[in-house]
Structure 1
Amino acid sequence: DAGCDACLTKPIKRHELLAGLAKHLQRTSLAADLVSKAEANIGLRHLSDAETETQRVKQLVALPL
């Protein structure tokens, strides 16, 4: 992925690396929460709506930082 290539081609300071990792972990945790909520809504909404929402959130997680 482009982000990885950029890291490999330039020096990176440790605090920048840690900040990026923290941001990624925070976003991953938030996304996992959203996926869980979308899956929990299956009983409240039509099944295909909940599946669509779950897929949308999973696609957002896959976006590069």
Structure 2
Amino acid sequence: MGRIRPTYIKRVAIDLVNKYPKAFNDDFENNKAMVGSLTDVSSVTMRNRIAGYITRYVDQVEI
């Protein structure tokens, strides 16, 4: 079992994927760079958590 992510991380991640569907894919490094450029998240940990959730979310939605 994995960690349960807080709702605010999921909300931000899903909003970003809905606004910029072509910007994200299943590559974590790409998603990390895109989250850093598209948002004003000041915390590196928060950016990485959002990018990680986007990576798993995009992979799950494509199936």
When normalised by structure 1's length, the TM-score is: 0.38
Higher helix share: 1
When normalised by structure 2's length, the TM-score is: 0.39
